Structure formats: structure tokens, C-alpha cells
Amino acid sequence: MHSFVSYLRDVKKDVTTSNQSIKLVMGNTSGDMDSIVGAMALGFFLTLKTGQMWTPVVNCAKKDLALKTEIYVHVIEDCKLNLDDLFFWDEMLELKRPIDEIAIIDHNMIDEEQAEQLGDNAHSKVTYIYDHHFDNKFYPASQLKDSKVRFIGSACSLLVLMMKENEAIFDKALFDKSVKPNYAYFMAAAVVLDSANLNEALRDTKWQQEDQDAYEWLSGFTELG
């Protein structure tokens, strides 16, 4: 996952050493697998797609990630990411970097308390939304560059399908099946977890065909349980 790790390190270096405005990517306040993996992956995708650096924030305090055992094990222990390469919510509030744009995943409206913490009319800066919850339709369509909000098991499934459509922008080494773990494995945890392990009894109530499509595409690059 060299190019992904390099991206995370470049982001962390930039956000902690510069005073320039940032393009922020954030998941919801629950800080679950879909939100944390999704924010990092969406930041990476938008950076590759737009040619501008997008900064993902892990939406919890740095000290609290270890309390989210399932996520900590997947991200830090299994996928070998370095805790210090990640950018956390408490670090962001301390740095107080100006924000240019905001992309949100796994929710479709910034939590009001967090919007207040972000300041400077944060709602008006949301330009990308990828979500699978009830659509609040809070942001005017004219403000959004892209928005995908619909019933699906995992918000990361939406992102994986976008990755599939834009596979050429990614370093092929990210999906090398001989490398364990690889980027497909990193993404798959959120898809599987939020889609109830694709339990057939829950099809069309907890997950839908697009989740299976995302899972099957990822499984072409990595072994999934």
C-alpha cells in the first residue's frame, strides 16, 4: 500500500507544517469503520481524481482510536498503518487550519456541534456527499460537485464502485493480490461490516446488489472471508 501510505504521510506533513487552507474529508461523529476507512479512502480518491490534495480526518480523538477495537485492529494492526500518519479530529481543532472545501461520507449533513467547531460557515463549504442514510437534502444542489445518497449497505460500497469506474487513476501495486494486506483488503472491511457480511436473509433490507458488486470487485484483488 506504498502509494496510499505516502499519501497519508504527505497529508499529515502538509497539514501540520503549512498555514494554507485545506480541503477536508470527514466521516460521521460515530467514527465507525465505514466513516474512518471511508474518509481516508475518499480523500485519496479525490486527490487522485482532482489533482488537488484532500485531507481526511479521523473523526475521533487520537487517544480514542484504540478504544474502537475492531477498527484499530483492522487499520493499525492488520493493515499496518502508523497511528502518527493519521490526522485526528482533536489535532485538527488544535491546528485551526482554514478550510476551503469539505467532502463528507457516511452522513449527508455535518453535525451541528462539529459545524460550529469548524467555524466560518462550514455548511456552505460542503461540495461532495457520499452516504447511505436518510437524505436530509440540507445542501442546495447548486453547491454540490457530486452527491450520491441512496440505500446501500455501506457508504464505502459507493466509493468502491467509483474506484472501479476510475481504476486507471490508481497505482496497480495497490491491488497486487500477492501483497497482503493490500488496498482492496483495507477497503473491504467497511463494505463487509456495514453490509452485514452480505447475509442473504438481509438482502434489500440491510444491503443491496451494489454492495455485492463492490465486494466481488474487491475480491478479485484480495482474499476475503
Give a yes or no: residue 110 inside a domain. Answer: yes
pTM value? 0.96
Coil, strand, or helix at residue 56?
strand
Give a yes or no: residue 121 inside a domain. Answer: yes
Classify residue 103 as exposed, middle or buried by CB count within 10 Å of its CB (0-12, 13-18, 19+).
buried
The overall average pLDDT reported for the chain is 96
How does DSSP classify residue 73?
I
Give a yes or no: residue 224 inside a domain. Answer: no
Residues 191-210: pLDDT tens digits? 999 899 999 999 999 999 99
Residues 112-123: pLDDT tens digits? 999 999 987 999
Residue 225 banded pLDDT, cuts 50, 70, 90: low
- Return the sign of the alpha-carbon dihedral for residues 94, 95, 96, 102: negative
What pLDDT does residue 224 have? 83
Range of the domain at 78: 2-219
Give a yes or no: residue 225 inside a domain. Answer: no
What total number of domains does the chain contain?
1
CATH code of the domain containing 34: 3.90.1640.10
Q: What is the mean pLDDT of residues 78-82?
A: 97
Q: What is the mean pLDDT of residues 155-167?
A: 98
What pLDDT does residue 120 have? 78
Give a yes or no: residue 199 inside a domain. Answer: yes
Q: What is the mean pLDDT of residues 10-21?
A: 94
